Structure 1
Amino acid sequence: MSPKYYLISAIGTAALAAPAQAALPEPVRIMIETAIKSGIDSDVQAIAKLAKATNPDDVAEIDAMVAEHRKARQELAAAAQMKKKQAGFFENWDGEGEIGGFRTTGNTSNTGVSGGLKLDKDAVNWRLKFRAKADYQRSNGVTTRERFQASLEPEYKFDDRFYAYGLGLFERDQIQGFDSRYTISGGLGYSVIKNKDVTLNIKAGPAWRFTEFTDGGSDSSLAGLLGIDFDWRISKNLKLTQDAGATVLADADGFTAATAIFSSATNSFTGTTGLTAKLNGKLSARFAYTIEHETDPPDGRVKTSTQSRATLIYDF
C-alpha cells in the first residue's frame, strides 16, 4: 500500500481516538440565557463569570453568548434612538390622569373634588412636560378652596444629566387673593442621582412674575426659582416622591415636592409629599399632603394653607 494510504489511515485513527470537545452543559446554558432574558447586565456578567470558572473548556462559547447579547442590546438602543428622532410632535407621549373627591355630613358639611393631568414627551435631546391641577372645596355652603394651576416646561438635554429648562406657569386662587398669576422662568438643571429606583434633580434660574389680585390691583416683579425633585421607588408597587423649589405642580407618580420662588413682592413656597401605590394594571391610588406658604399675602388672607388629598390615578 502507498504511504498516502497509511497517512490518511493514521489521521482517521487519531481523530477517532481523540476525545470530543465537551459542549456547554444544558443547565449552564439555560442559566446564562435566563440572565440574558432579564436584561440586567450585572446579572449577565455575574452568571457568565461563574459559568466560565466552573466550565473552563467552554469559555469561548460563553463569551460568544455574552457578546451576542451585548450586540442585540446595542442594536435595540440604536433603534429606539432613531425612533425618537423620527417621531412626530404628537407621538411618544405618556402621562396619567388623577381624580379624587370627598363629602362629609353631620356637624359640618364638606364637599371637595381634585383632579390633575400629567403629560410627558421624552425625545433624544429634549423633554416636554405639561402639568395641570384643580382643587375645589366647600364647607357649610362656603367655598373654602378654589385653585387651578397649569404649567408647560421644555427641557434641552446637554447630556444624560445636565439640562436647560424653561417654565411657563399659570395659577388662579381667589381664596388666596389673586385672580391670576403668571410665572416665567429659565435656567439650568442637573440630575444628581439617576438610577432605577432613586432620582434626584435640582434646577435654578431667574424668573418673572405678574399677579392680578382680586381687589383689582396688580404687581410684577423679578424673582428667582429653585426646584428639587426627589423620587424613590420603594418597591415594585410603591413610590415616594419629593419636589422642592420651582415646579409648583408635583410629579404625578407619587411624590414629595417643594418649590420656592423668591421675589421682591412675596415669596412663595410649595411642598408636596405623596405616596403612590399601584392597585392593578394602570390603576394606582395616591395620598398627598401639600403645604403652601406666601410670605406677604393680600390683607385678610392667611400665609399658610395645607391640603390632604386621596386620589385614583390612571396611567396612559
Structure 2
Amino acid sequence: MFHRYVSSAACLTFLVAAAQLPEAVVAMIDAAIAEGNPDTVEAVMALAKKTNPDDVAEVDAMLAQYRVAQAEAAELAAAAKQEEIRNAGLFDRWSGEGQIGAFQSSGNNDNVGVNAALKLKREGIDWSHQLRARVDYQRSNGNTTREQYFAAYEPRYQIDDGLFAYGLAQYERDRFQGYTGRYAVSAGLGYRLVKTDALRLSVKAGPAYRVTEFLDGTDEKNLAALVGLDFDWSISDSLTLTQDTDITAESGGSATAIVDSSNTSLNLITGLQAKLSDRLTTRLSYTIEYDSNPPVGSVSTDTLTRFTLIYGF
C-alpha cells in the first residue's frame, strides 16, 4: 500500500485524497507502488488523471506525496551507503580484474611465453586505492628473451569533483633494458577533465624520485618529474557478436612519462576490450616503452602487442 512509503504525517493527506477517488483507481495506484518502479507509478498516475478528469487535484496530491517519500527514501539509502563505506574494513570493498595470456610453439623454433596481470581497486568516499602488478616472460630456443616485472601502488584523495591529489610507489625489473631494479616514488595533483558514460579522461603531474640499479652493479639516483594521463572510451554499448554473446568494445589506456636529468622514460598503453560475459573480457593491447638513454647494448624503444583474457571480480 502507498502509506508504507510515506511518513506518518503524510498518511492523512493520502487517505483523504484516496477516499475521494474510485476504489478501482486507488487499487491500480497501490499495485503500481507495490511493484516498486517509479516510472510505472508516474505512468499510472498520469493515466488516472486522464481517465478521471474530475479527480486531477486528488491524484496530484497523491503524486506529490509519493515523490516526497521517494526523495526521503533516497536520502536515507544514500546516508546508509556512506555509513557502510565509512565502517568498511581494510580488506572490504576491493574489486579488480586478473588477466593472463600464453603461447607455445615448436618446430624450427621452440618458443614459450606467458604474461599475467592483476589490478585491484578500492573506492571510498574521499580516498581510492589502486594496486597493479604485471609479469611478462618469454623463452626462445632455450634462451630467455623477455623477462619483465612491474608493480605499483597509487592512493588518491578527491579534493573536489575534478581535482585530486595522488601518491605513487612503483617498481620495475627488466634486464633486457639494462636494469635489475628501478624504483620510483611520486606525489602531486591531478584533474579529471572529462567524466561521462562514454569517455573518462584525467591528467596528473608532480615531482618524483627515481633509483635505478643496473646490471653491472652500479646505481643511479635522480630527482624527476612525472606526467600521467588515463583515459577510457566506450565505443559502443552493445554489439552482437553471436546469438548468445554480446561484445562491448572499449579503447582505453594510460601514458606515464618520468623525466630526470639523465633519462626520460615513457610508458604508453592502448587497448581494445571486448566483453564476452558479465565477468569475462578479451583485450588486445599495444604497449610502447621508451628510454631516452638506455644502457650500452640496449635499444631505446620496446613495443609489445598482447591478446589476453580478463576476469573481473
Gapped runs of 5+ residues in structure 2?
Answer: 1-18, 239-246
1:191 corresponds in structure 2 to 192
Matched with 1:119 is 120
Query: Separation in 2 of the partners of 1:239 and 1:162?
Result: 28
Aligned-residue offset at 1:20: 5.0
1:275 aligns with 2:240: no
Mapped contact 2:137–2:148 kept (Cα < 8 A): yes
Q: Report the equivalent of 1:146.
A: 147
- 1:94 and 2:110 equivalent? no
Shift in Å, 1:29: 7.8
Q: Which residue number corresponds to residue 238 of structure 1?
A: 248
CA contact (8 A) 1:240 1:256 kept: no
Amino acid at match of 1:276: Q
Note the aligned Cα RMSD (angstroms).
2.9
Inter-partner Cα distance in structure 2 for 1:264 and 1:34 = 63
Report what 1:4 is aligned to.
none
Contact 1:291 1:304 in 2 (8 A): yes
Per-residue deviation, 1:49: 11
What residue in structure 1 maps to residue 11 of structure 2? none
How far does residue 159 in structure 1 lie from its aligned partner after superposition?
2.3
Q: CA deviation at 1:182?
A: 0.4
Q: What is the one-letter code of the residue matched to 1:116? A: A
Quick one: distance in 1 between partners of 2:141 and 2:279? 36
SS of the equivalent of 2:176 reads coil
SS in 2 for 1:280: coil
TM-score (norm 1): 0.79
Selected match of 1:301 from 283, 290, 298: 298
**Higher alpha-carbon deviation: 186-195 or 106-115:** 106-115
Distance 1:89 1:220 in 2: 34
* Structure 2 Cα separation of the partners of residues 160 and 87 of structure 1: 23
**1:123/1:140 CA distance change after superposition, 3 Å:** same
Task: Deviation per CA, 1:98-132: give whole Å up to 9, x if none.
Answer: 11111223443321100111111111221111110
TM-score, scaled to structure 2: 0.79
Alignment match, 1:249 = none
Moved more, 27-36 or 284-293: 27-36
Identical amino acids, percent of aligned pairs? 41
8 A Cα contact 2:32 2:44, kept in partner: no
- Aligned residue pairs total 279
| Deviations 1:173-227 (CA, angstroms, capped at 9, x unpaired) | 0011000000000001111122333211111111111100112221111111111
Superposition map of 1:140-179 within 5 A: 140-179=141-180
